[in-house]
Amino acid sequence: MIRSHFGLDQSPFANDTVALLPQQQEVFDTLRVHCQQGGLCVVIGDPGTGKSVIKQALIQHDPKRLIVPVVNRTLHTYPNVLRILCQAFQIDSDGQTFTCEKRLVEAAQRINHGGKMLAPIIDDAHLIDVRDLRRLRLLFEDFPKNHNLILVAQPGLLTSLALSTNEDLQSRVTYSARVAKLAPEAMRDFLNAELDKVGLPHATFSPEALALIVRASEGVLRRTRNLCLASLVECVRDRTKTVDLKQVNRVLMQPHWREPRDA
């Protein structure tokens, strides 16, 4: 609908077209180095700040040399996480826990012998029970030493790792990074860059609308993207090609955008 209305070849603010921002690029480059020498890396950030963009960039970076199996469904017990990990490695997930562990180690060894790097990613790692996370860490001890296990999580994971009972996990972290919210100027640059990608003029959003979007998004990329897309939909409804305060305010009046005190 938006593409047809604005005459575009690709959808604006699409998840698969979002480029790495400077702060994300720095994290990405460091993770790649750890993929070469091995490590246990932790990438944390509030929801919507761009952790998934870094994850996707790693997956797409160099599939022939860097194998990046991902576990996205982390609200499971250790045996189920193992089976999900087997699926990510594209190997048989049937059998007992020990059998799955053995297959995973063998698959990792094959990848290593093929001259490829291995960077398993555990997404939403803060949702995994620490005991299960410890069992995963012990499993990866049997992987080739140059693999890089990456935990992507919300800040609560670092709080859990800081407990004395979890010192064995925290002491093995080789790199950690926090994906912060964007400053207003950086957010404006992001919006303009996304418009450039699809061939929309910067004037598609009026200065007033742009300022309101930057303020309402509070530095969170996901909120910005959703607010921009919803505002463009309102443009289609109004049969106009310029997002102004009217369209943005109409979106912000929706219940999920309003503050609890305003409901």
The whole model's pTM is what? Answer: 0.86
User: How high does pLDDT run on average in the chain?
Assistant: 89
pLDDT in tens, 212-235: 999 999 999 999 999 999 999 999
Residues 6 or more apart whose Cβ sits within 8 Å of residue 174: 34, 38, 39, 40, 41
* pLDDT of 74: 72
Domain 2-8+182-262 of CATH type 1.25.40.10: no
Q: Is 115 left (phi over 0), alpha (psi -120 to 50) or beta?
A: left
At 69-106, the pLDDT tens digits run 888 877 778 888 888 889 888 899 888 899 999 999 99
Does the pLDDT value for residue 21 go beyond 90? no
Identify the band that residue 260 occupies on the pLDDT scale cut at 50, 70 and 90.
Answer: low
Q: What is the pLDDT of residue 185?
A: 93
Just give the CATH number of 22-179: 3.40.50.300
Flag whether pLDDT at 262 surpasses 50.
no
Pick from 183, 185, 179, 129: which is nearest to 157 by CA? Answer: 129
Domains of the chain, by residue range, sit at: 2-8+182-262, 22-179
* The pLDDT of residue 63 is above 90: no
Compute the chain's Rg from CA coordinates: 21
> What is the reported pLDDT for 210?
95
Token look-up 């929801």 returns 47
